[in-house]
Structures are given as C-alpha cells and as structure tokens.
Amino acid sequence: MCFTHNFWSLTIDGLNNGFLYALIALGYTLVYGVLQLINFAHSEVFMSGGFAGLFLTQWWVGSGTPGGAESIALVVCGTAVGAVTGGTVAFLLERVAYRPLRRRNAPRLAFLITAIGASFFLFSLAGKLFGRDAQGIPTLYGNGKLFSVFGGDVHLYDVIVAGSACAMLLVLDRLVARTKLGQGIRAVAQDAETASLMGVNIDRIISQTFVIGGLLGGAAGFLFGIANNVGYTMGFVPGLKAFTAAVLGGIGNIRGAMLGGIALGLVENWGVTCVRNSWRDVIAFAILVLILMFRPTGLLGERLGRSA
C-alpha cells in the first residue's frame, strides 16, 4: 500500500539518484572500453569535483544569501569547476598511474593494484588536506516545489540534476557517435592494435577518454554535494553504486551505463519500501551479485575488443 501510495515520489527520487549514478558510471565504462581496466580511483575523481564546487561556492557566497541570476550562475559555475577539476584529476591519474604501466606492458594485475593504490592515496590526501569532517555546500537557492507528477512533488533540485545530467549524457552520446574523437574512442575500444596501425594516436585517445569520464564524474560530485555533505569519504558508496550501474547496463557500453544508472536508482528506491531504508545499499550490491551470477554481460551487453 505504501509503495502504491508513494510510487511517483519514489520514482522521482530514484531518477534523481539514477542520473547521478549514470554520470559516474560513464567514467568506469569509458575507461574499461579502451583499456579493459576498472579505474577504482574514479570515486576520488567524483570527490574532487565535490570539493572544488564546495570551495568555489564558499568563496563566492560567503555569509550572503544568493538569489535570482546569482543562484543560476553559482550552479552553472560550480558544475563547471567540478567538471574541470574532475577532468584534471583523471588526466593526472592516467599520466602518472596508468600510462607508465601500459608502456612497460605490465600485467593486468599491476593495473588493478595501481588503481586501488591511487584511490587510497587520493582518499587519504583529501582527508589530510581538507579535514576529516564533512562540510555542506552553502545554500544556493530555495529548493521549492515546482510542480507535481501524479502526486509526486518535483523540486528545483530534481530539475537541476535531471536537466544537467540529460544535457551531459546527450552531448557525450553525440560526441562518441558523430565526432572524430568519438570515432577514435570506438576504434580503440574495438581493436586497439588495428586502430594504432591505422594511425590513431592511442595515448591521446586514452588520455582524452579519462578526461571525458573525469568531467562527468566531477560535475556529478558537485551536483551530489548540493544536497549532501562534501567530505573525503563521499566518493566511496556512490562510486561502488556507479560501478554496479555500469555492470548492470553492460560495462564498456555507454548507453548501457546510462540505462544501468537510472535502473539502479529506481530499483533501490522502490526496494526500500519493502524493507527499511538502512537496507538501501544492500539492495544495490545484491543487484551487482545477481547480475554477475546470472547475466555478467549486463542488460545491453558488454563491448569486447582488444585493449590498448
């Protein structure tokens, strides 16, 4: 009865979470597509975007109360700064942690250990530099109700997340499908060795792929931080859930990551009506286990090729 009564409210909140999972999941799936590597440090890329947006808005807002055009500018600039910071961290990760291993033809286990090590390094560094206590992004706008959908209230934050995520996902989809860079990414993902023989600069494509994933992850970090606290641990659970979303949709498949993120956000939000809210994370990771057991290629299938 509770599920039926609150269905649209649960769906709106689930879509909200799902769009954020999709933005983060794309970082995992893009890197996996070109390197056949799970970048476990991507959760810290997400975290870096949150901190960048936090510091920008704290400096800008100060003790004042923004409104009108200033609120719009804060959200746009915060998202942009979070994205640029995430892209920069991802670029440095590829250059420092992964490229030297690739050039030495290191075994895949070395990449995995390096990814985990880079994750712990960035995690610990953020805690040391920015403190162990989580901080809230200043209030940027009044999160009032805009309209209702079959009794489910849609607030301004829901529109900001959905609009920003849809715009970024659409741009990424068109970029991969229609541009020269997208052709390079698809070529390297399908067969890196042949792409190299055809004149594709593998190092440049991989670096740009990391940056694109970082841009999306950093933007998601700021959008997440608007409604939640920003701290050095903020990337852990969303990062794992985004990885679950990437596996659910079919890791290596860009549209699969989008679908997986939205599906995971909806399913975990609907699921908490049957159990307590404290079981939310259990539901998400149970989905990961079930997918790996019964359909490891995900909903839309895994994109397989020869890695770089």
Tell me how far CA of residue 118 lies from CA of 92, 96, 97, in angstroms.
Answer: 11, 10, 7
Q: Letter for the amino acid at 12? A: I
* Among 59, 84, 48, CA closest to 138: 59
- Using alpha carbons, list the distances in angstroms from residue 100 to 31, 97, 106, 185, 200: 16, 7, 9, 20, 19
165, with CB counted inside 10 A (0-12, 13-18, 19+), is buried
Model's pTM, two decimal places? Answer: 0.90
pLDDT at 40 over 80: yes
Residues 6+ positions from 11 with CB-CB distance below 8 Å: 152, 266, 269, 270
CB atoms within 10 A of CB 177: 12
Q: What is the pLDDT of residue 127?
A: 93
Instruction: Name the band, by pLDDT with cuts 50, 70 and 90, for residue 141.
Output: confident
Quote the tokens at residue 21.
């999972």
Query: Nearest-5° angle of CA 151, CA 223, CA 119?
Result: 130
* pLDDT of 154: 84
Looking at residue 105, what is its pLDDT? 86
State residue 218's pLDDT score.
Answer: 95
pLDDT surpassing 60 at residue 227: yes
Going along the chain from its start, the domains and CATH numbers come out as: 7-118+152-294 (1.10.3470)
Q: What is the pLDDT of residue 62?
A: 75
Q: What is the pLDDT of residue 308?
A: 59
Question: What pLDDT does 285 receive?
Answer: 84
Q: Is residue 158's pLDDT more than 70? A: yes
Predicted pLDDT of residue 38: 86
Cβ pair 142, 238 in contact under 8 A: no
When mean pLDDT is compared across 115-119, 124-128, 180-184, 303-307, the lowest value belongs to 303-307
What's the pLDDT tens digit per position in 172-225?
989 988 899 889 888 888 887 888 888 888 889 999 999 999 999 999 999 999
pLDDT in tens, 259-301: 999 999 998 888 877 777 777 888 888 888 888 888 888 888 6
The Cα–Cα gap between 288 and 292 comes to 6
The tens digit of pLDDT for each residue in 54-104 reads 999 999 887 677 777 888 899 999 999 999 999 999 999 999 999 999 888
On the question of pLDDT at 306 being above 70, the answer is: no
Owner of token pair 């990449």: 111
Work out the percent of the chain whose per-residue pLDDT is above 90: 42
Confidence class for position 303, pLDDT limits 50, 70, 90: low
CB 111 within 8 A of CB 98: yes
Q: What is the pLDDT of residue 2?
A: 55
Q: Give the mean pLDDT of 110-119.
A: 91
Q: What is the mean pLDDT of residues 249-264?
A: 88
Tell me the C-alpha distance between 24 and 223, whole Å: 11
For residue 108, which amino acid is it?
R
> What's the chain's average pLDDT?
87
d(CA 225, CA 83): 13
What average pLDDT score do residues 156-172 get?
Answer: 90
Mean pLDDT calculated for residue range 224-241? 91
